[in-house]
Chain A
Amino acid sequence: MHWVRFSVFVLAVIVMQSGLVDVIALASVRLDLLLISLVFFAVHYNTTEAIIASFAIGFGADLIGSAMGPHIISYGLFGTSLAYLHRIIAVRRMPYQAIVIAAVGIFAGLLIIFLTYLKGIQNPPNVYAVLLGSSLYSAAVGPFLFLPFAWLMRIRIH
């Protein structure tokens, strides 16, 4: 992986996530570009690169999140699991990619909620509804973003 390109890519995604995604938000449900990036790197790069990318994306998500720590752990853990799983099962077709994004979004989100609670920060009452909506929205849009992501990272995905 070209790490400078990766850094610029992640920074751009963080900046877009902190503002631009509001334009295409459905009610209070926002597209999670960082989650989509996490799955993209986990299923298109080798295990070591995917693990480093997962932690880096988690750190980026924490920088614009409500607390530092929960995203690094959660994204790192699920990115690593997905990278190892990808050695056994290749996630190539769009419907499977959508399912993976939704599953990672929901489970990583639940862990983030739990870790945020552990840190002593109150979670809002509608957190589960927003998590589910955001994961499904990201799952629906995510596979279509893999093509521009691959072009930006200069890799072939087919």
Chain B
Amino acid sequence: MLGGFIFLLAPQSWTNKFQFAFARIFSWPLNISRSLSLSARAKQLPMDVISRIEYDRLQNHLSNVVQELNEAHQKIKAIGGLRERFPAMEGAKFVIADVITDAVSGLRSELIINRGSDDGLAKGQFVLGDNSVIGTISSISSRTAQVKLITDPTSNIAVNVPGLDVSRLMRGGGGEIAKIQMLSISHKVKTGENVYACKKPGFLDTPIVVGKIDKCSRDDENPSLWNVAVRPACDITKLNNVVVIIMNPQQQ
């Protein structure tokens, strides 16, 4: 009981080391458990179509390129014809990390990955899966890090929908969706529209696709607002590796 209270009162960064150590030591059985879980959920695909994962990856890449193109066009228009290429991620470093284990349920949506502060990772950095933003680094140790997914009920990230030209906070809805909050019904929201993570100085220099609007209905508590459900742009539970964006990598 005393041990329990020590753990409870100790700083989170200190107690997280136990969780990271466990994930590292038992990464092999945890990976097997996750793989079995994934293969049990996997569906048989016909031979003449590409896999859902590949399709999502290409679709997200296309969405990012289109958005990049749109922004470049807007800049050209605004500056008066100057040819200016969108400076997407120039100088940024991308760290590829394997997923050790995931916890995607109604209460939590998190991943533990096999990269940490030794690889230049830090809290708040954006994490990509199949070319779309899937979450941010929430806690970190030297060799592992925890990723809070966009669907986690405690996750909050700023997003915008290009057609609406407004930025709003998107909060995780638990399970497989996230919700955009405080969006007035005066905006015309279309299902299937892409949602982009807003630029965040030092963390993200260009908007990157987060997901698509899955459902839109009037908010039960406040009928003057939309209740917008956003489905992530990729199937997060099937990711085997992710990419962490380090916008200002330290020179070695």
Identify the A interface with B (CB < 8 A). Answer: 11, 14-16, 18-20, 22-23, 25, 27-30, 55, 58-59, 62-64, 66-70, 72-73, 76-77, 115, 118-122, 124-127, 129-130
Residue pairs across A and B with Cβ atoms less than 8 A apart, 12 shown, are: A18-B30, A18-B103, A23-B40, A27-B175, A67-B12, A69-B7, A118-B8, A124-B154, A126-B106, A126-B107, A126-B153, A127-B107
A25 and B237 CA atoms in complex are apart in Å by: 14
B6, B19, B104 — most chain A CB neighbours (10 Å): B19
Q: Which B residues lie within 8 Å of A118 (CB)? A: 8
Assess whether B88 is interfacial by the CB under 8 Å rule.
Answer: no
The answer to whether A23 touches B37 (Cβ under 8 A) is yes
Per DSSP, chain B at the interface is: helix
Q: Choose from A15, A28, A115 the contact partner of B30 (Cβ within 8 Å).
A: A15
The answer to whether B4 touches A20 (Cβ under 8 A) is no
The answer to whether A67 touches B153 (Cβ under 8 A) is no
Q: Which residues between 88 and 123 of chain B lie within 8 Å of chain A, taking CB atoms?
A: 101-108, 110
The 9 closest A-B pairs by CB, nearest first: A28-B106, A124-B153, A69-B8, A19-B33, A72-B4, A68-B15, A69-B7, A73-B4, A68-B7
The answer to whether A19 touches B105 (Cβ under 8 A) is no
The answer to whether B4 touches A58 (Cβ under 8 A) is yes
The answer to whether A69 touches B105 (Cβ under 8 A) is no
Given contacts A27-B106, A68-B19, A72-B4, 17 further A-B contacts (CB under 8 A): A18-B33, A18-B34, A19-B37, A19-B101, A20-B33, A63-B22, A64-B19, A68-B8, A69-B6, A76-B4, A119-B12, A121-B12, A124-B154, A126-B107, A127-B107, A130-B105, A130-B107
B16, B106, B153 — most chain A CB neighbours (10 Å): B106
> Contacts A23-B37, A23-B40, A30-B105 known; A122 to B154 CB distance under 8 Å?
yes
Q: How many A-B Cβ pairs are below 8 Å? A: 119
Assess whether B26 is interfacial by the CB under 8 Å rule.
Answer: yes
A23, A25, A68, A72 — most chain B CB neighbours (10 Å): A68
The bracket for how many chain B residues form the interface is: 35 or more
Assess whether B188 is interfacial by the CB under 8 Å rule.
Answer: no
Query: In the assembled complex, how far is the CB of residue B178 from the closest CB belonging to chain A, in whole angstroms?
Result: 12
Q: Which B residues lie within 8 Å of A122 (CB)? A: 154
